[in-house]
Amino acid sequence: MKDYIKPFYAFSFIILLFATLGCTDDCETTVTDIYYEPVFSLKSEVRNSVTIEPGREISTRGKIFFKDGYLFINEPKNGIHVIDNRQPTDPQNIAFIKVPGSFDIVVKDNLLFTDSYMDLVTFDISNLQAITEVNRMEDFFTAHGSLNYYNGSDEEQIVTDWTEERRTTSYKDECNSNGFFGPTIWLRQGEGFVQTALDNASAGSAGSAPGIAGSLARFALTGEHLYALDGGWLKNLELTSPLSPISGEDLYVSWDVETLFPRGDELFVGASGGMHILDISNRSNPQSISLYEHINSCDPVIVEGDLAFVTLRSGTECQGFTDQLEVIDISDLRNPRLLHTFPMHNPHGLSKDGDALFICDGDAGLKVFNSSDLSKIGDNLLAHDGSIQAYDIIAFNNIAMLIGDDGLHQYDYSDLNDIKLLSTIKILP
The span from the CA of 241 to the CA of 294, in Å, is 39
Does 190 have pLDDT greater than 80?
Answer: no
- The reported pLDDT for the residue numbered 21 is 46
The span from the CA of 335 to the CA of 339, in Å, is 12
Q: Can you give the length of the chain in residues?
A: 429
Across the chain, what does the average pLDDT equal?
85
Please give the average per-residue pLDDT across 237-249, as a whole number. 95
Does 4 have pLDDT greater than 60?
Answer: no
Please give the average per-residue pLDDT across 415-424, as a whole number. 96
Please give the average per-residue pLDDT across 18-35, as a whole number. 63
pLDDT category of residue 353 using cuts at 50, 70 and 90: very high
Does 178 have pLDDT greater than 80?
Answer: no
The structural domains of the chain, with segments of one domain joined by +, span: 33-213
Read off the pTM: 0.84
Does 240 have pLDDT greater than 70?
Answer: yes
Does 202 have pLDDT greater than 60?
Answer: no
- The reported pLDDT for the residue numbered 232 is 94
In the chain, the amino acid numbered 53 is E
- The reported pLDDT for the residue numbered 8 is 40
Q: Higher-confidence residue: 299 or 219? A: 219
146 Ramachandran zone, left/alpha/beta (phi>0; psi -120 to 50): alpha
**Strands lying side by side in the sheet with 274-279:** 257-263, 266-271, 274-279, 287-293
Does 47 have pLDDT greater than 90?
Answer: yes
